[in-house]
Copies of this chain bind each other. A is one copy, B any other.
Amino acid sequence: MKTLKIAVAGLGTVGAGLVKLLSDNAEIIALRAGRRIEVVAVSARDRSRDRGVAIPASVAWYDDAAKMADEAECDVVVEVIGGSDGIARQVVENAIAKGRHVVTANKALLAHHGAALARAAEDKGVLLAFEAAVAGGIPIIKALKEGLAGNVISQVTGILNGTCNYILTTMRETGRDFADVLGEAQALGYAEADPSFDIDGIDAAHKLSILTSLAFGTPVDFASVHVEGIRHVSADDIRFADLLGYRIKLLGIARMTDHGIEQRVHPCMVPVKTPIATVDGVFNAVVAEGNFVGRSIYEGRGAGAGPTASAVAGDIIDIARGSRVPAFGVPAAALKAQGVASIDRRVGAYYMRLSVVDRPGVLAEVAATLRDEGVSVEQMIQPARSPADSVPMVMTLHDTEEAAMNRAVARISALDAVLEQPRIIRIEAL
């Protein structure tokens, strides 16, 4: 069969990793794909930079990636530039317009324009593939689109951001503060100079919105994701979680509920015995729940040159083999929006940490407020009295509707004896 010709837009860590993979593993890939796969064009600003990989002289260089997508003699354009708009979007749109398949690792692009791009690709009869956009090397996109395709999916949950998981893991292992660990992660290259995309949960929300679309057959709806990051998770919270038998993880949760689809990203306490609780460091994990398969769990490295290149290569091999699976698992025209379930409808347990004046009667006030809102206490930790002016008061609360919890928290925070805004972390049983 004819060689499959690839153009790579972006020669950063991932792009260079892909070129290396396609070269190192060329023989086995040709055998598996049924044809040779060859990089024929690349685009990057600086041609002289050492990328740790040799670009053969026969490869066409383009300064302008969009132009390459438009003009290069290729079957597939790989977009590993990133960003929801600008050049990355232009590359993908140009490639599709010219009838070339697209493989991308770009979650932001898909979160914002996924449904439209899927439609455009379908109209042109080309594939839009993006295994690398979610959970790095773990083939979770393929699992949802193909392996589990016989199931009605009810829920997908995941640790989708390696930076956050690394920070939370390190905070727990060292007892250090968020700001301190973030600084170290930045120094080590695990977090960006501007870390907000990661630590404010936006990156995880991008990925979650893609999983949601695949799981439920809906157009990607990033705007409906409820997003909270990990900035407010304190060393105290992590310590108390340990005492209570939980781990704190930033989870993305997508659920089909009676009120529509719930999509949320926020720090969660998960029981230490659930498999996802021990997924540490830069690892990602996804839990999918189907009506016949039950629960299945996928773990692996969520980022980095190797895992991401592996995912891109898997998509390229699918194309070489003649795959015809639509971008989101069903024809783009069949993607059907569903109602959005507000997070106010969430029913579940909660962790609450208060900072209170150390005097008699405070617990009674707090307890009365919770009772008035129908919130009942499961466990409480009040450390021994201290010479300080304030003491922490920590409790876990039985299953409650979020709206009731919010009312209780508003009233509790208004109590004179409560010194700071209460810290709430949702408990997810999984």
Contact = CB atoms under 8 A, between A and B. Distances in A.
Interface of A: 17, 21-22, 24-25, 28-29, 31-34, 131, 136-139, 142-143, 145-152, 217, 273, 275, 278-279, 290-301, 306-307, 309-314, 316-318, 321-325, 329-331, 334
Contact of A294 (B22, B131, B306): B306
9 contacts: A17-B292, A25-B151, A32-B330, A142-B142, A143-B143, A143-B147, A293-B301, A294-B300, A294-B306
A370 B149 CA distance: 54
Contacts of A295: 300-301
A143 B142 contact: yes
B331 A309 contact: no
A100 B118 CA distance: 32
Contacts of A298: 296-299
B290 A329 contact: no
Given A299-B297, A301-B294, A146 B142 contact: yes
A385 B311 CA distance: 57
| Copies of this chain, tallied across the complex | 2
Nearest to A22: B150
A314 B334 CA distance: 20
A285 B318 CA distance: 25
A150 B309 contact: yes
A220 to B, nearest CB: 17
A21 B275 contact: no
Nearest to A320: B149
Given A137-B292, A142-B143, 18 more contacts: A21-B150, A25-B152, A31-B331, A32-B329, A137-B148, A139-B147, A143-B147, A146-B318, A148-B310, A149-B314, A150-B314, A151-B313, A275-B278, A292-B307, A293-B306, A296-B298, A298-B299, A299-B299
Nearest to A305: B292
B307 A294 contact: yes
A228 B101 CA distance: 48
A285 B116 CA distance: 37
Contacts of A314: 146-150
Contact of A137 (B21, B24, B294, B309): B294
Nearest to A329: B32
Contacts of A150: 21-22, 25, 29, 309-310, 312-314, 316-317
Contact of A151 (B33, B293, B310): B310
Contacts of A279: 275
A324 B325 contact: no
A79 B100 CA distance: 39
B324 A310 contact: no
A293 B312 CA distance: 11
B325 A299 contact: no
A131 B146 CA distance: 11
A142 B31 CA distance: 16
Contacts of A294: 137, 300-301, 306-307
A295 B59 CA distance: 32
A371 B393 CA distance: 58
A321 B321 CA distance: 13
Contacts of A32: 145, 149, 329-330
**A-B interface, 10 closest residue pairs, ranked by CB to CB distance from nearest:** A139-B147, A150-B313, A296-B300, A137-B293, A293-B310, A297-B299, A292-B306, A292-B310, A149-B317, A31-B330
A10 B218 CA distance: 36
A4 to B, nearest CB: 13
Given A31-B217, A149-B317, A317-B146, A21 B306 contact: no
A247 to B, nearest CB: 13
A373 to B, nearest CB: 37
A313 B330 contact: no
A58 B382 CA distance: 68
